[in-house]
Amino acid sequence: MSSLLSDLRLAWLLTRGSDRREWWRVGLTAVGAALATGIGLGVVALLSLDGFYTVSFGSGLFDSPSDRRNVSLALGLLLIPVLGFLGQCARIGAVHRDRRLAALRLAGATPGQVRRIAALESGLACLAGSAVATAAVVALLPYATAWAGVVLVAAAVPVLGAVVSAVSLRRVVADPLGRVRRVRPVRGPGPLFRTATKLLAATAVAIALTPVLGSPVSFDLGPVTVLVLAVLFSLTAIWLSGASSRQLGEGFAAGTGRPALLIAAERLREDPWSTARTHAAVLLVTVVGSAFAGVRQILLADLDEGRREGSLGARMSYYTTGIDLTAAAILVALVLVLTGLAVGTAESLATRRRGLAAQVAAGVPHAVLARALLLETALPLFPAIAVAGLGGTTISIWYGAAMSGHTAVPVPYTAPLVPVGVYAACVLAAATSLPLLRRSVRPGELRYA
């Protein structure tokens, strides 16, 4: 306990001693924690309503308990990209504090203790963001019985942020005497990844064979089936991102004469699975977004037909509000993962800043390094995004085929457009780190090489 308190005291001192270049990292972490707290408090507010309760907005979508549970589940899923964003902020934060972390190592701190102190710094930033969000929305909660949930969310977000930061920093090693930070390269998918993929594949096969072999469990088009397929396609795309990085790196390194492409290929060949780790959330959102775009098109056509025939069980706005809220949630998740991608690219630059400074000192133009940075994102992401988009389109086509038995459904042409837009957005997100590249290649960084 005393050791934890000492680490917490050191984390507080390091946070207070942050300079202006580091406060943006603290601010991003606090914003992510505030968003996570707001989502948690929204779930608490919805679940605190008992029975039927008339809500003045949402066209009746929040009136019934079952609908409120469904909305709460959708809100809870938004925590996944938020926690991924907090993990990215923790990784880049460790880089900017490297010289102070090296001083801790010289004073006798172990690598694990240094990572723990860095994670506690993120926890303190999360505490600030959680406190601000709680103070801003607590007056909107309808019942006093929700206060237990408020306290739980406000306390859980900083703890969860520190845990996510510790997990994100588990491969980071802080060394004394200058060469402070390095990341152990990931050799490939771990056993947990492989086991999860096999289980999901077996589940998907069982679902596909259910109509043929018969089963007491009816999957139909339920959430379990959609979730299994979406995660399975996402894991496949993540695996393809890492595997293609290695293949593309080796291929271009051996056969290209373009400097920017050669630098990017060497980077991909050196640590191919770092791109898969960074792109994981992007690929999951691409699968979900592609599937939703196609299903939304089919649902709107079906609802329009039902409205003309007078067969709808509720007002048209009741259904469209739910569809629009789902679209808004996916857009929020996309913004979060794009921000995480930009932070991850900046983290990669900060990690390699001495090597980049050495390349500039050796005569490599800044424009070549900028193109190489964009290629590091664009090359491995292209096949992975294509597979993720194909997976989401397949889900929407499957849904349309199931609906075609009792209504005429359109071809879900909107689904393939999603991966195109996501790919362009990812390249633009990576481009936001180009100003940091110019600061990272200053010759002064060579003093610490």
- pLDDT per position as a tens digit, 68-117: 777 787 788 788 888 777 877 776 655 455 666 666 767 777 777 777 77
Q: Are 184 and 171 in contact (CB under 8 A)?
A: yes
Residue 421 has pLDDT above 90, yes or no: yes
Same domain, 341 and 440: yes
Same domain, 20 and 38: yes
pLDDT for position 216: 44
Q: Predicted confidence band at 58 (pLDDT cuts at 50, 70, 90)?
A: low
pLDDT for position 217: 45
* Alpha-carbon gap, residue 138 to 290, rounded angstroms: 35
Q: Are 398 and 258 in contact (CB under 8 A)?
A: no
* 348 or 143, which is more confident: 348
Q: Are 257 and 203 in contact (CB under 8 A)?
A: no
* 67 or 341, which is more confident: 341
Quick: pLDDT tens for 28-51: 888 888 888 888 888 888 777 776
Same domain, 215 and 149: no
* Alpha-carbon gap, residue 401 to 397, rounded angstroms: 6
Q: Which two tokens stand for residue 320?
A: 């469209």
Highest mean pLDDT among 35-49, 264-278, 339-353, 404-418: 35-49
Same domain, 290 and 151: no
Q: Would you tell me how many other CB atoms lie within 10 Å of the CB of residue 443?
A: 10
Q: Predicted confidence band at 274 (pLDDT cuts at 50, 70, 90)?
A: confident
pLDDT for position 179: 47
pLDDT for position 244: 75
Residue 200 has pLDDT above 70, yes or no: no
Domain that holds residue 257: 188-449
Tell how strand 181-183 and strand 172-174 pair up.
antiparallel
Give just the sign of the alpha carbon dihedral 11, 17, 21, 26: positive
Same domain, 145 and 87: yes
| Rg of the chain (C-alpha set) | 24
Quick: pLDDT tens for 228-262: 777 777 777 777 777 777 777 777 767 667 888 88
Q: Which two tokens stand for residue 431?
A: 């481009």
Angular region, 28: left φ>0, alpha ψ -120 to 50, beta rest:
alpha
Residue showing tokens 């706005």: 317
DSSP letter assigned to residue 121 = H
What integer best gives the mean pLDDT of the chain? 75
Same domain, 173 and 207: no
Same domain, 193 and 233: yes
* Alpha-carbon gap, residue 400 to 379, rounded angstroms: 32
pTM for the model = 0.77
Same domain, 315 and 426: yes
Quick: pLDDT tens for 311-365: 676 777 777 888 888 888 888 888 888 888 887 787 777 777 777 777 777 788 8
Same domain, 219 and 258: yes
With H, G, I as helix, E, B as strand and everything else as coil, classify residue 174.
strand
* Alpha-carbon gap, residue 170 to 431, rounded angstroms: 27
pLDDT for position 419: 92
Residue 285 has pLDDT above 70, yes or no: yes
Quickly list H helices, 78-110: 79-96, 98-106
What residues contact residue 143 under an 8 Å CB cut-off, 6+ apart? 48, 49
User: Where would I find the beta strands (DSSP E) of 56-215?
Assistant: 172-174, 181-183
pLDDT for position 422: 93
CA-wise closest residue to 30 among 167, 158, 166, 169: 158
Q: Would you tell me how many other CB atoms lie within 10 Å of the CB of residue 176?
A: 15
Of 152, 184, 216, the one marking the end of a domain is 184
pLDDT for position 423: 93
Same domain, 310 and 242: yes
Dihedral of the alpha carbons of 240, 328, 67, 220, in degrees to the nearest 10: -30
Q: Which two tokens stand for residue 209?
A: 């064979």
pLDDT for position 219: 44
Q: Are 356 and 368 in contact (CB under 8 A)?
A: no
Q: Predicted confidence band at 409 (pLDDT cuts at 50, 70, 90)?
A: low
Structural domain count of the chain: 2
CA-wise closest residue to 230 among 285, 193, 149, 190: 285
Average pLDDT over every residue of 379-394: 87
Residue 22 has pLDDT above 60, yes or no: yes
Residue showing tokens 């393939």: 416
Of 168, 184, 200, the one marking the end of a domain is 184
* 345 or 431, which is more confident: 431
Same domain, 175 and 37: yes
Same domain, 225 and 276: yes
Quick: pLDDT tens for 152-194: 888 888 888 888 877 776 665 555 555 444 555 555 666 656 6
- Which of 217-231, 247-261, 408-422 shows the lowest per-residue confidence on average (mean pLDDT)? 217-231
User: Where would I find the beta strands (DSSP E) of 126-267?
Assistant: 172-174, 181-183
CA-wise closest residue to 277 among 349, 421, 171, 204: 171
Of 151, 184, 217, the one marking the end of a domain is 184
